[in-house]
Chain A
């Protein structure tokens, strides 16, 4: 039965993991996502569904436990925050290379280094440009509410198993820590081992009962074989772009200006849109829900309609590069964002839009073009 509850984002995600029939969670404490493992340990999901929850000795061990679980076809996940995700990147690259389904959650805090425990979106590059070594991408879901923290767990596993690829839920300290009402889906049963072998037996290492052996590896010492593997991965990413791109347009129909923002920045920007509209500025918001695939085409088309675009991010300017690439310099694109764990206000965002885009945008754009020709 569905249930309406008031919960923290991190807790909603943990509860949703149990209800989605996840088989294993492997984690290591780090602020601001520790509630996930605390909630799971307290809830005793081993008694509710048989789900295994294990506190690993490090983020590295945790992601490799996920690798082990995933290699046997089980639904496995881990969560961490920025410095911990950096440690997991080797394992994430192996997951992508070995074509294993898994879900990784990053409740982002400010960096670089130990940085701050406050919210940030400074892991955008790390999330969508690969992060670990080699030619791979992650399917990246960016929740903007506690409801999406819950809903995206199952969505992420659906994608992970559809493509046999790791999926990242890129949250941040704000969405992870804030409390909102959330509708929790009814409990789904975990797959039995028999069902799992029926479904994943063609590739998973479950013991070679009644079949030839299965091997999970990311190693191909023959160049042609390795290139074929890379091409296979690229095909998956192309298919993700065609079939599983997600974004949301808010007040875009008559927009003369556009904000692009995801996650917590999208929530705050939504208020900025209201403030702008009250002042007579026709502002719209495009919220990428998936950061890879990125809504390139939607932005390319909106660039014919709007006079300028502001990319609002809790970082020093990362997604703005993808926005610029998408609109192919048809209109001025500027970045606004706070760092260090400071969260921008709707008023600051509107002011930035007025300063950077509405007042100066066309001039700056003109100047940039001119200097680039010289």
Chain B
């Protein structure tokens, strides 16, 4: 029996997401970014909007998102993706515009752009991958690094007295009137990934209906930055990240969850 005899459509259980390119992902094995990319592209493909979508890539690990997502994409300066997306959406109101950003990009250097794009209620989707660390530069403290968590710039653990507390920017944003949908998810298990996909779908539906800003946080691992194995990092995430960044809807249809 040859390999080609086994690889037949009728034997296929899983396949590569159609809207992902054939470029090998630059992410570390075990990282959640790949799943978050896949889910986003699956939703766009299934909604049949791949020709009407414009994505904005950040600076950080996902700076090369445009190498993997087979759609029109613009790469923004560090933290400025929401401003870039604002203009695209205003000038092309019939298009689906989304940003894909990490925690350093969205919640540190780009805080002003994030808050103001949200406050204006831009009709865009923001996908925010929060892994509590600067992955690309090699594991420095992020605005979302947990208290006591070690990084190369908080080698003795994040001291909240001098370094501040991890920023719950998602809760902050949910309180802005312009924001229509805010939810927090994870992608480390099938169950979580399915829920996250539903949220991403809802977000793009909101764009279709012109409802305003949808904000999806994905709490993810960074096994390299956290100096752990992939499995270990996922367990650590569940035990440490989820209590501080609890999963679930925060604001739905413009109404804050109690």
Contacts and interface: CB of A to CB of B under 8 A. Distances in A.
Contacts of A91: 77, 80
B46 interface: no
A52 interface: yes
Given A52-B90, A66-B87, A217 B75 contact: yes
B83 A207 contact: no
Nearest to A94: B77
A116 interface: no
B237 to A, nearest CB: 29
User: Interface of chain B, helix or strand or loop or mixed?
Assistant: mixed
A68 interface: yes
A214 B88 CA distance: 15
Contacts of A208: 50-51, 71-72
A69 interface: yes
Interface stretch (B4-12, B52-60, B205-213): B52-60
B169 interface: no
B66 A71 contact: no
Contact of A64 (B63, B66, B76, B91): B76
A205 interface: yes
B84 A67 contact: yes
Contacts of B51: 207-210
Contacts of B88: 68-69, 71-72, 205
A304 interface: no
A324 interface: no
B181 to A, nearest CB: 22
Contact of B54 (A23, A58, A60, A207): A207
B195 interface: no
Interface residues of B, number: 33
Contacts of B57: 217
Nearest to A214: B72
B87 A65 contact: yes
Given A52-B91, A213-B70, A218-B75, A207 B52 contact: yes
Interface in A187-238: 193, 205-210, 213-219
A56 interface: yes
A215 B73 contact: yes
Contact of A65 (B54, B63, B64, B86): B86
A61 B91 contact: no
Contacts, number: 121
A76 B91 CA distance: 10
Interface in B74-127: 74-77, 80, 83-88, 90-92, 95, 112-113, 115-116
A67 B54 CA distance: 14
Contacts of B75: 98, 215-219
Nearest to A57: B116
Contacts of A217: 57, 66, 74-75
Nearest to B49: A207
B69 to A, nearest CB: 8
A148 B74 CA distance: 34
A54 interface: yes
Contacts of A74: 91
A26 interface: yes
Nearest to A221: B64
Contacts of B83: 56, 60-62, 64-65, 68
A215 B66 contact: yes
Interface string B33-60: 0000000000000000011111011000
B84 A71 contact: yes
Contact of A68 (B56, B70, B72): B56
Nearest to A67: B84
B204 to A, nearest CB: 14
Contacts of B91: 23-24, 52, 69, 72, 74, 76
Interface of B: 50-54, 56-57, 63-64, 66, 70-77, 80, 83-88, 90-92, 95, 112-113, 115-116
13 contacts: A23-B91, A69-B88, A71-B88, A72-B88, A72-B91, A91-B77, A94-B77, A207-B51, A207-B92, A208-B51, A209-B52, A213-B71, A219-B75
Question: Closest 10 interchain pairs by CB?
Answer: A68-B84, A68-B87, A64-B80, A217-B75, A65-B87, A205-B72, A64-B83, A57-B116, A69-B87, A209-B51
Given A24-B90, A61-B83, 8 more contacts: A64-B77, A71-B74, A72-B88, A72-B91, A76-B87, A217-B75, A219-B63, A219-B64
